[in-house]
Amino acid sequence: KLVTPFPRLTYADSMARFGTDKPDLRFGLEMSDISDMAADTEFRVFTSTVENGGIVKAFNAPGCASFSRRQVDGLIDFAKLNGAMGLVTIALNGEPGPLNDLTQEQIRSAAARFLSVDQVREIANRVGARIGDMILIIAGQEKTTNFALNALRNEMGARLELADPNELDFCFVVDFPLFEYNETTERWDAMHHAFTSPKNDDEQYLESDPARVIANCYDLVANGVELASGSIRIHTAELQERVFAVLGYTKEQVRQRFGQLLTAFEYGAPPHGGIAPGIDRLIMVLTGRDNIRDVIAFPKTQNAVDPLFGAPDVVDQEQLDELHLKLNLPEVAEAKAGANG
C-alpha cells in the first residue's frame, strides 16, 4: 500500500520529531523536547544535563503503563546499548483516562520522588500521554540523545506492532545544513559532500556563520530507510572556492586536488543536479527484509569476506608487480625478518 502524496519534512523538523533524518512514518510515537520542564525539576539528572548544554527528550508509549520491571529494565539496557547514559520511564498507572485524575500514587518511576504531580502532568501533556501510558525520557547531548531515542522509538514501534508491513510510507527530507562541525578536528565538514550548493539566500553566511547555511539537497526516505539522495550542485568556481575555504582547504590544496573542476567551471557549467537511488535498498524495503545483504547478489559478510569468490585472498608477487604495488605490512616484514634470521 502506497501512501501519497509524499510529505516533505525539513531536516530540523525530522530531527526534532523523530531524532533522525530517516524517519519511519508508518507509526507515531513522536518525540518532544521537554528540556524547559526538566530544568525546573529537582531531578539532578535532568537539571545537570540542561546546565551542561544537553537536551531532555521524550515520547509516549500508549498503553504501556503495565510494563513489568523486567520489561522496563530491558528498555533501559536497550537505550544504553544505543549510546544513552540511561532511560527514565514514567508509568501512569490506572484505568485509561484524562490526566486531571492523576495522583502521586499512580506515578511509577525511579524519578517519582523528584517530580510533583503537576510536573508529571505537564510532561505528559506535552508528549500526549494519558493515564495507562508510559513516558520514555532520555537526557544527554543532542546527537547522542536523538540517536538513542530514535532507536528506542523504532524498538517500541516493533514491540507494539505499530508499523504496517504492507505499507510504504515515503517522505522527502529537505533543508539539510550544508556544514556540520567536527569536534575532533575542530573544523567544518560537509554534511553531504563538498560540491552541494547552498541556498541562494544563505550564501552571505558562508564565512560569518557556516552553521546557518542550508544546503540545496534532498533525501527520499521510506519506512525509515534512505532510498535516494540528491542535490543541486555548485556550478561556479567562485562559490566552490568559498565552500572549500570554509572546509579548511588551502588555495594550494584546492589547486592540486580540484584544479580540473575549477578550470571546467570557468568554461561555463550550467546549473545541474540530480538524485541517486539505491536499488539494493529499494528491493530490501519492497521485500520486507531488514538486512541489505539479503538482497545483494554477492554479499560480503560482516568481516568483509566474499564467500563466493573467496576474497580477500593471498596475492602472489607477479600480480603485485603487474599492478606496480608494494606491500609493507607489519606481519609481512616480521615474517621476512624471521626467515632471514
**According to the model, what pLDDT value does residue 309 have?**
85
Mean pLDDT, rounded, for 240-257: 95
**According to the model, what pLDDT value does residue 331 have?**
67
- Determine, yes or no, domain membership for 240: no
- Determine, yes or no, domain membership for 238: no
Domain count, the chain: 1
How high is the mean pLDDT of the chain? 92
pTM of the model: 0.85
**According to the model, what pLDDT value does residue 337 have?**
53
- Determine, yes or no, domain membership for 260: no
4 confidence band (pLDDT: 50, 70, 90):
confident
Please indicate whether residue 62 or residue 302 has the higher confidence score (pLDDT): 62
251 confidence band (pLDDT: 50, 70, 90):
very high
88: containing domain? 27-162
Domain with residue 97: its CATH number is: 3.30.1360.30
Mean pLDDT, rounded, for 129-133: 95
**CA–CA distance, 175 with 123 (Å, rounded to integer):** 30
- Determine, yes or no, domain membership for 332: no
Would you say residue 9 has pLDDT above 90? yes
Please say whether the beta carbons of 57 and 137 come within 8 A: yes
Would you say residue 85 has pLDDT above 80? yes
- Determine, yes or no, domain membership for 218: no
Omega before residue 307 within 30° of 0, cis: no
Mean pLDDT, rounded, for 309-318: 88
Mean pLDDT, rounded, for 236-260: 95
- Determine, yes or no, domain membership for 243: no
1 confidence band (pLDDT: 50, 70, 90):
confident
- Determine, yes or no, domain membership for 291: no
Least confident of 66-80, 134-148, 245-259, 295-309: 295-309
304 confidence band (pLDDT: 50, 70, 90):
confident
Distances, alpha carbon 62 to alpha carbons 104, 151, 281, 305, in Å? 19, 17, 31, 43
Mean pLDDT, rounded, for 275-280: 90
Please indicate whether residue 282 or residue 211 has the higher confidence score (pLDDT): 211
333 confidence band (pLDDT: 50, 70, 90):
very low
Half-sphere exposure of 195 (CA within 13 A, CB side): 13
341 confidence band (pLDDT: 50, 70, 90):
low
**According to the model, what pLDDT value does residue 243 have?**
97
- Determine, yes or no, domain membership for 257: no
